[in-house]
Structure 1
Amino acid sequence: MAFSQFFMSLFKRGQTQDPATCIICEDETFKRGQAPATCNFCEEETKIKWKCTNCDVLMCAKCKDKIHAKLKNSKDHNVIDIKEIGIYRGEPDFNVLKCDIHSGQSCVMFCTSCDTLVCALCIGNTHNGHVLVEISKGFNIRKEKFKSGQKKIEDKIGNLIKIKNEMTDVNMKDSAKYKDLIQGIEAQNVKVKNAADKYTDQLKSELNTKWRVLQTEGD
């Protein structure tokens, strides 16, 4: 199994759980129709932020600092952001990693120079002199790269949403300007019509006056 496949399989476990099971705590408190989980300490806050894998509890940000931090030996506990639950599933079993090149050989190190797993034969044949680290460290390197890439994607999505909102705001302002212009034209049209009607009435009045004068002189 390639290291990339192994890493992604660990991450995807959190996304392939039974829909009726919470992918955060693997408990059945998130079944459809049920209320969201609350902090295991205050039992009020629903904005869960942290999980202690040692205590197996979900916590809000306040209780993490006010309660969990005061527990005995809590400084040695593994507290992770719930966003990392999909990545963290306890200590992975690196013994299942087999070399893709040398059949029957297990991978024993991670080559940072080539960004790949290597077995003992690989080290002697093609990776001699390369920078080699323990597989667990290589896993953490990959995980940090993944998280960094994920953060960049989230930032880009955030920027796109911001641009979309700004464009929507501009469109709304343009729409408002359009409506104002239409109203202004209609108002001006009313003024022109009123002025034309007034001038027409004035001409008719003057014509009627002259006609009456002519009629009188004719008599």
Structure 2
Amino acid sequence: MDPHTSAQDVSRCDLCETAVVQMHCDTCLVNLCMACVGDHMMPDQFKKHEIVPFQLRKSTPLYPRCTTHSKERCEMYCYQCDISVCNTCIASDHHLGHKFITILQILDEKKNKIIKAHTELKETIYPTYQDIASDVQNRMSQLEKEYGDLSTAITKHGEDLHREIDKLVKKLKAEVDEMKNTQLQTLQKHLDEINKKIFDIEDEIDAVNATKDSNDLSKLFSVKLSLDKYKKLPPKIVSCTPKFMPGKVQEKELHDMIGAVTPSSLTSGDYCYSMKFSLPEPESVTTIYTGYRYLYNVACLNDEEIWTSGDDNTMKLFSINQGSLLKSITAKSGKIPCDIAVTKSGDLVYTDYHKKSVNIVKNKKTEKMIKLQNWIPLGVCNTSSLDLLVIMYSDDDNKQTKVVRYSGSTEKQTIQFDDKGKPLYSSSGYYRYVAENRNLDICVSDSHAREVVVVNQAGILRFVYTGEQNKSFCPRGITTDSQSHILTADIYNDCIHIIDQDGQFIRYIECALKNPYGLCIDTNDNLFVAQYRNIQVKKIKYLQ
């Protein structure tokens, strides 16, 4: 029986090819009998062979070969250079004074990261994209039905009219078909893009499956995962089916008798998908002492620096990692800023309650962007379209509150009343803050009304959040994250409320907070909380 071709034969020694395998060299990946172990090790006595019982093969880590010294294997890891190194490398001047650890010390850490990434890909990201694809497919089926009903209504109405109007009926149906095809083509393209992402995720999962149980460090270090590009989910396209509006048969033009079809729409602005994962337990990462008597606001300049404002006329820039004061800017009026924000270009914006103005600090110079008449600015925020949203109230006897969108100093939009003409916001109280969500909703925390009011981009009311029933809700600062969560500070209950984009409560963040006031979030979804009385900014990690 041929030992190399028979599937029923026992494993044979790779050297003599006759004796039964008893040992294994994990260094060379060679099967050996007891008699051949010495012969295997003799040709290169200086090479370190890892000989283990055959049943324990692959238990020894496969050290990577040194890229500088090809005959050496890397058993150490250099922290400063972030590479694996051999003993010859360690002895060289290139790594003089560097910190080393054995490469086995980071083996478990590296495996755990890969396993965690694999779990997130398989259990969170992949199912989410599958749900998105299913949602788009269901909407396409619904469109087919709705457009079919629309065509039937048009046909039925056309049958009631004279033959001379048949041509116009056909024209209307052609318009409907064109609208349907346009929307279906757009949704199909959207679905194709989502399916491509799903295939890419499957490839990532397969790549991790191929290496996650391996002890081959070269393979482990070669795994390059990029989860961030999948975490930013595609927009959810919301279609609006046109309606058929039949006309009455009167002495009018035939077009009026047939009626008209309302324009169709296919938008992605008002709603977006959310990643379906549970929030981990919030963790306080860093605390920064600010030196105010009372601390009000915080705004991220970038992932390393934050602006703050408190109960005096200075706005302070701090290093997040060092906790050190980097610079201070004094408000031009000498009064306390009401709120602060940072533009996309990194300029500081603040509202001046006493001067009724919105100011910007550019190149160390303070300029007046917006000067108000009969209105007092309160909260301010930057938007994804580079506009500014300012919430303000009138200084006359007929107290009113509104949110105004500005492009530079030009007023573009005013949001004040609901569709029944009733005020969206309370008419009194000083504490009101504004933020824009990822789906372009405009979110306002109204402390006097004890509620968060959310309208869509057009200013149409979506929902009002009034807190949980077992707590007296008193909101202050408000911000949003990459998952379209809305976070608002509850100053007297010492916590942060997290709600989703539809106003459903998710959880509280507590983390030993004391009177949380201002909020902001950096590009990595780290939350910064300005605490009113203990004048500290606390950095909190609450997302994966």
What is the TM-score normalised by the length of structure 1? Answer: 0.39
Task: Choose between structure 1 and 2: higher strand proportion.
Answer: 2
Which has the bigger relative contact order, CA under 8 A and spacing at least 6? 1
Between structure 1 and structure 2, the one with the greater Rg is 1
What is the TM-score normalised by the length of structure 2? Answer: 0.17
Task: Choose between structure 1 and 2: higher helix proportion.
Answer: 1
